[in-house]
Amino acid sequence: MDNVPALETDETQEWVSPSIRCTFGPYFKLDAEEQLKTVTMVQTALGAGKPPGVKLLTKRAALAHIAPIFGIENVDAALDSLTEETQGESDQQHERDMQLQHSLAKTLRDGDSGSGAPETGAKEPPSD
């Protein structure tokens, strides 16, 4: 070993061990009933249900837990897609709400008969 030249450096180098985390999947594939129980458990932990409960999981943790059931390989990408989809649905609902509000305002401005029922042109059945 004396014949091996030493590296001349001004700094000392220290070896840092890498962080290793082993994650093992289930030994057996869940059957349909167990999959349903898992999804229901995750929904409950997210605070979903009637009445709404306490939120115990983040959306990312919940999605990671059920990802194998739905064949999701990239949890972050799936979460981004869900967020975009939810935002799109929210925007559509906002647009429908605005249309309804404008329609109601126009109806009130034009003088509604006050019956609350839409006019269909059909005659009401005779009362007994």
pLDDT in tens, 99-123: 888 888 888 888 755 555 555 555 6
Could you state, in order of their start, the residue ranges of all structural domains in the chain? 27-73, 74-107
Residue 69 has pLDDT above 60, yes or no: yes
Residues 55 and 47 sit within 8 Å (Cβ to Cβ):
yes
* pLDDT tens digits, 12-62: 777 788 889 888 877 788 899 999 999 999 999 998 877 777 888 999 999
Instruction: Locate the DSSP E strands across 1-128.
Output: none
Report the run of H or E that residue 70 belongs to, with start and end.
helix 59-70
Residues 85 and 63: beta-carbon distance below 8 Å: no
CA atoms within 13 A on the CB side of 85: 6
Nearest-angstrom CA–CA distance, 87 and 79: 12
**Can the peptide bond before residue 51 be classed as cis, meaning omega within 30 degrees of 0?**
yes
What tokens does 81 get?
């897609």
Identify which of 112, 110, 99, 30 has the alpha carbon closest to the alpha carbon of residue 71: 30
> Quick one: pLDDT at residue 79?
93
Per-residue confidence (pLDDT) for residue 118, from 0 to 100: 54
